[in-house]
Amino acid sequence: MKISVQSIHFTADKKLLAFIQKKADKLDQFFDQIINAEVYLRLEKTEDELNKIMEIKLNLPGTMLFAKQQCKTFEEATDLATESLRRQIDKYKSKLNSHLSKYKDDLVENAADI
């Protein structure tokens, strides 16, 4: 899976980029047809300590999944966002499988009629 990372208002270090790559690569275990991922890291200029925002956009065949997290650290936000995307992938796969099984049932019925 190709991952593009854009950091806004700061420069991300190699350790953070490697961590994001490692976490995003784990999503391939749940669904191997992920086309690419776009990651946006943003540093808000507020007094609140929850000033690190991470957005991940996954492009899948026929759809796009999105997760956004705001936390104290980018690592924590990465963990939460990838977990959210994992749940979304599971939901998408079950929806996809139910549609495919219905389509297969219709094919079997039509073949029996012939």
User: What do you get for the CA distance between the two ends of the chain, in Å?
Assistant: 43
Enumerate domains of the chain plus CATH numbers: 2-113 (3.30.160.100)
Decide if pLDDT at 101 tops 80.
no
Question: Tens digits of per-residue pLDDT, 57-95?
Answer: 999 998 999 999 999 999 999 999 999 999 999 999 998
Token pair for 21: 């790559």
Q: Spell out where 1-114 has E strands.
A: 2-8, 36-43, 52-60, 63-71
C-alpha–C-alpha distance, residues 87 and 25, integer Å: 15
Supply the pLDDT for residue 22. 94
Mean pLDDT, residues 101-105 taken together: 69
Q: Is the pTM higher than 0.85?
A: no
Q: What torsion do the CA atoms of 7, 13, 15, 16 make, to the nearest 10 degrees?
A: -20
Supply the pLDDT for residue 47. 81
**Residue pair 56/27 in contact by the 8 Å Cβ criterion:** no
Supply the pLDDT for residue 9. 83
